[in-house]
Structure 1
Amino acid sequence: MKRTVLAASALSAAVITGLTACGGSGSDTDAAADKPKATASQAKEVSPAERLAKLMVTKAESGYTVKEPSDGDALAASQEDMDVDKAVCTPLAYAMNELPIGSPQATLTHVATRSGAMFTYITLSTYADGAAESAMKDLAKAADSCGSGYTATSDRGSSPYNSVTVETAPSGSDESLATAATFEFKGFTQRLRTQTFRFGDTIVNYFTLDSGAFLQSRPGEAKIPADLVKAQNAKLG
């Protein structure tokens, strides 16, 4: 059965998934002695991916459980796996499917939950000089051009959005954009929301859905948690 964007995926996976981690290391004393020591500049160098990992908000900072989403949690696993019937709407489709907008150097997505049935996906992305501004420009164009809706598809299913509206985003960043989109699921209207912020060369996108509405077959009205946004944005600003 084809699934509408995140209607089945977030419910089947994100609720029950836990974070697991393991690791280990070993070294040979003589071999290590032969290796040149890292210079001070090398020791301080941080990759874009490592930088994002440090910028992702934690439970201690936000009060929300923040963890990696499950495999298959979104309509598409990558930008290349998604097709959009209206090309101009593609950045919106990415923003509503845990994918980065534009062409980032690195990206990281976690899902934040607390009591209740709201799931908020936080996607952090870092860009080369000027690329973040370009990505935000394309997202704004999509929001202005796709009010009548669009359809995103992948080998996992199809997501037909009926409408897109631009809303007011909180202040405090270099740029921001907020949207609401609707689609039908089992005869009920579901409203999903995004808020996207640029801080220099870093973009954070929040995407929230009301999972309880899908489970209970009722209309859904997703609301992005203001306290979560405040906590995450504080680490970026």
Structure 2
Amino acid sequence: MRVTRTGSAGVRASALLGLALVTGCTAVGSGGGLEPAGPRLRAQAEPSREAVSTGGLAALTLAQGDVAGHTVREPAPDERVEQRDVEADGPCRALAHVLAGAAAGDPSGATARRVVGSGTATSVLLATHEGQGGVDAAQASVAAVNRAADECAGGFAYRLGDREQRITEVTREVAPRGADQAVAFGVRMEKSGTPARGRVILLRKGSSIAYITALGTDRSAAVPAEVVEAQLVKLS
């Protein structure tokens, strides 16, 4: 199935990072507050060139007790998504993979966790590109998602299993600090004809990328700040 694009406008800027808890608390990055809008790839002063092996992913993966007030567990079999489960091609493919719950690019290994609490269920997929060139491959994966968000901002459709997923809008949001690269997006979608929202955050450190996603109703969808900060601590 080819991805159907419903518009070609550039990503619309969003004034605030959509990391608000369902309870109304403001989400923060590792720097203790929201950053003003800036470059889509937010860089640290000393980016890491470390290539993490597949075996080293366990130490970077969230575990029970890492996120205060939340339960961390492995996803159930029917919650796991691989790239092969997503029918998408063209310029929107990388973003379709991430929204479905898979990694972008061609990682050498990945771990998945579900973080439940504060009225939200957040998916965290941690992928690594090991070996020589691993950092460059991770950077290319982030760049592919960025291009897809720009080119498919007006909406597109993809298929996950036997279900069509229709995205009606993609907006860029302010990314948290603390990683070599970080990007954040808000999406509007239709699920079985019902309006819904989602939020996506990518955090890259060296050759590893954390893909953090949350889905919610049309009125709210949130990634708890505690989840982002806990993953940043693991990556640091």
More helix by share: 1
- Name the CA distance, whole Å, in 1 between partners of 2:185 and 2:224: 14
- Show CA shifts across 1:3-24 (max 9, x none): xxxxxxxxxxxxxxxxxxxxxx
State the partner residue of 1:124: 126
Q: Structure 1 stretch 63-72 or stretch 132-141: which is displaced more?
A: 63-72
Highest RCO, 1 vs 2 (Cα 8 Å, sep ≥ 6): 2
- Show CA shifts across 1:16-38 (max 9, x none): xxxxxxxxxxxxxxxxxxxxxxx
State the partner residue of 1:111: 114
Question: Contact 1:189–1:220 at 8 Å: present in 2 too?
Answer: no
Alpha-carbon offset, residue 48 of structure 1: 3.2
State the partner residue of 1:204: 210
Q: Please, what is the CA RMSD of the aligned residues?
A: 1.7
- Name the CA distance, whole Å, in 2 between partners of 1:71 and 1:139: 26
Q: Structure 1 stretch 165-174 or stretch 65-74: which is displaced more?
A: 65-74
SS of residue in 1 equivalent to 2:79: coil
The count of aligned residue pairs is 180
State the partner residue of 1:88: 91
Report 1:1-237 matches (<5 A). 48-63=53-68, 64-73=70-79, 77-84=81-88, 87-116=90-119, 118-128=120-130, 129=133, 130-185=136-191, 187-210=193-216, 213=217, 219-237=218-236
Alpha-carbon offset, residue 224 of structure 1: 0.8
- Name the CA distance, whole Å, in 1 between partners of 2:144 and 2:191: 28
Alpha-carbon offset, residue 203 of structure 1: 0.4
- Name the CA distance, whole Å, in 2 between partners of 1:115 and 1:157: 28
Stretches of structure 1 lacking an aligned partner (at least 5 in a row): 1-46, 214-218
Structure with higher Rg: it is: 1
Q: TM-score, normalized by length of structure 1?
A: 0.71
Alpha-carbon offset, residue 125 of structure 1: 0.5
SS of residue in 2 equivalent to 1:206: strand
Q: TM-score, normalized by length of structure 2?
A: 0.71
Alpha-carbon offset, residue 78 of structure 1: 1.8
Alpha-carbon offset, residue 232 of structure 1: 1.1
- Name the CA distance, whole Å, in 2 between partners of 1:198 and 1:50: 18
Alpha-carbon offset, residue 55 of structure 1: 1.1
- Name the CA distance, whole Å, in 1 between partners of 2:213 and 2:165: 15
Alpha-carbon offset, residue 58 of structure 1: 2.0
